[in-house]
C-alpha cells in the first residue's frame, strides 16, 4: 500500500517570492512515479510536474521544480517567482508501476496555497 | 484543456435515485480511472478500466458500478444514492499502463449533489 502525507494544510506567499510545499510518501515498490497536481478554484485537476523514482535528477517545469530525496521518501515542490494564478490547492500523489492494482494515484490531503499581491 | 471530457458538469438529484456519469478519454488513451473527491475522504480511487476490461478496484461501493465501452468511453453508475455520495467525481485517462508515458490526465469533473 502507498501513503502520501502533506503536513502543511495551508500556506501563503507574496507575489514574486519562492515557496516550497512538502510531501512525504511511503511505498514498498521499487518502481514508482510521483506527481504534483494543482486544483484551482475551478476544481480542475492540472498536472504540474512528475518524477520517475529511478531518475536521480530532479524534475523541473519552468517555475516549478521538485526536490526528490528517495532515501528519505520526500518529494517537495518549489514554486519560484510566485504568481497570483498559482493560488490553488496542491496535491502530491504517488503511482506504482509493478502491475496489478498499483496504477492508481494515491493522493495526499492537499496544501492550500494563497499567493498575495 | 486536458482532452478528457465529462458529462454532465453538474447533477442534482434526490436520495434513492440512480445517475450515470460519462467520460470520454483523450484520443489514443486506453485506460480510464474514476476518482471521488469529497470533503471528508479527500481524493479516492474508485476503479480503473483498460481497453474495456476492469483492471483495478479501490474504495468503490457495491451501489456503484462502471464499464468501458468499445469506443473507450466510460460510464460510472451510482444507484440508491445517499446524501454522503455528494462529491466531485473525476475521470482520468492515460495512454496505457506500465509505460513511461503513464501520466493521468483529468477531466473537469462532475459535481454531484444529492438532496
pLDDT digits (tens, 9 = 90+) for B6-31: 999 999 999 999 999 999 999 999 99
| pLDDT over 70 percentage in chain A | 95
Give the phi and the psi of residue B83 in degrees, each rounded to 5: -55, -40
Whether A100 shows a pLDDT value over 60: the answer reads no
- B104 and A105 in contact by Cβ < 8 A? yes
Mean of pLDDT values over B75-92: 97
At A56 the pLDDT is 85
- B58 and A46 in contact by Cβ < 8 A? no
Q: Measured between beta carbons, which residues in chain B are less than 8 angstroms from residue A97?
A: 98, 102
**pLDDT tens across A63-80, in order?**
999 999 999 999 999 999
Whether residue B8 has a cis bond before it, omega within 30° of 0: yes
Query: CA B96 to CA A100: how far, in whole Å?
Result: 13
Of A33, A44, A103, the CB nearest to B56: A103
Length of chain B: 115
Q: Measured between beta carbons, which residues in chain B are less than 8 angstroms from residue A61?
A: none
Q: Which of B17, B14, B4 is nearest to B89 (CA)?
A: B4
Whether B109 shows a pLDDT value over 70: the answer reads yes
Q: Is B49 helix (H, G, I), strand (E, B) or coil?
A: strand
Closest-CA distance, B13 to chain A, in angstroms, reads 21
Whether the CB of B61 is below 8 Å from some CB of chain A: the reply is no
Record the cell numbers describing residue B86, joined without a space. Answer: 455528494
Mean of pLDDT values over B82-92: 97
- Assign A31 a pLDDT band (cuts: 50, 70, 90): confident
| pLDDT over 90 percentage in chain B | 83
* Lowest-pLDDT choice from A55-59, A87-91, B82-86: A55-59
Q: Is A109 helix (H, G, I), strand (E, B) or coil?
A: coil
Nearest CA in chain B to A40: B108
Q: Best interface-test mutation with A: which of B1, B29, B100, B106 has the largest number of A CBs within 10 A?
A: B106
Of A43, A52, A102, the CB nearest to B109: A43
- A105 and B102 in contact by Cβ < 8 A? no
Q: How far is CA A59 from the centre of its chain?
A: 11
At B101 the pLDDT is 64
Whether A19 shows a pLDDT value over 80: the answer reads yes
Amino acid at each position: 500500500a502507498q501513503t502520501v502525507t502533506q503536513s502543511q494544510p495551508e500556506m501563503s506567499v507574496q507575489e514574486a517570492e519562492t515557496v516550497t510545499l512538502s510531501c512525504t510518501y511511503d511505498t514498498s515498490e521499487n518502481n514508482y512515479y510521483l506527481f504534483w497536481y494543482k486544483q484551482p478554484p475551478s476544481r480542475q485537476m492540472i498536472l504540474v510536474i512528475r518524477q520517475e523514482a529511478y531518475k536521480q535528477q530532479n524534475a523541473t517545469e519552468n517555475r516549478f521544480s521538485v526536490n526528490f530525496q528517495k532515501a528519505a521518501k520526500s518529494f517537495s515542490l518549489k514554486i519560484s517567482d510566485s504568481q497570483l494564478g498559482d493560488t490553488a490547492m496542491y496535491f502530491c500523489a504517488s503511482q506504482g508501476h509493478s502491475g496489478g492494482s498499483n496504477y492508481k494515484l494515491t493522493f495526499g490531503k492537499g496544501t492550500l496555497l494563497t499567493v498575495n499581491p | 484543456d486536458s482532452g478528457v471530457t465529462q458529462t454532465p458538469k453538474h447533477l442534482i438529484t434526490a436520495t434513492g435515485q440512480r445517475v450515470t456519469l460519462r467520460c470520454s478519454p483523450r484520443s489514443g488513451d486506453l485506460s480510464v480511472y474514476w476518482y471521488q473527491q469529497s470533503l471528508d475522504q479527500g481524493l479516492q480511487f474508485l476503479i480503473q478500466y483498460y481497453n474495456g476490461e476492469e483492471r483495478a478496484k479501490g474504495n468503490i461501493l457495491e451501489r456503484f458500478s462502471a464499464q468501458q465501452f468499445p469506443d473507450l468511453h466510460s460510464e460510472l453508475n451510482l444507484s440508491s444514492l445517499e446524501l454522503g455520495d455528494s462529491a466531485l467525481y473525476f475521470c482520468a485517462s492515460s495512454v496505457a499502463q506500465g509505460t513511461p508515458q503513464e501520466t493521468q490526465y483529468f477531466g473537469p469533473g462532475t459535481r454531484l449533489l444529492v438532496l
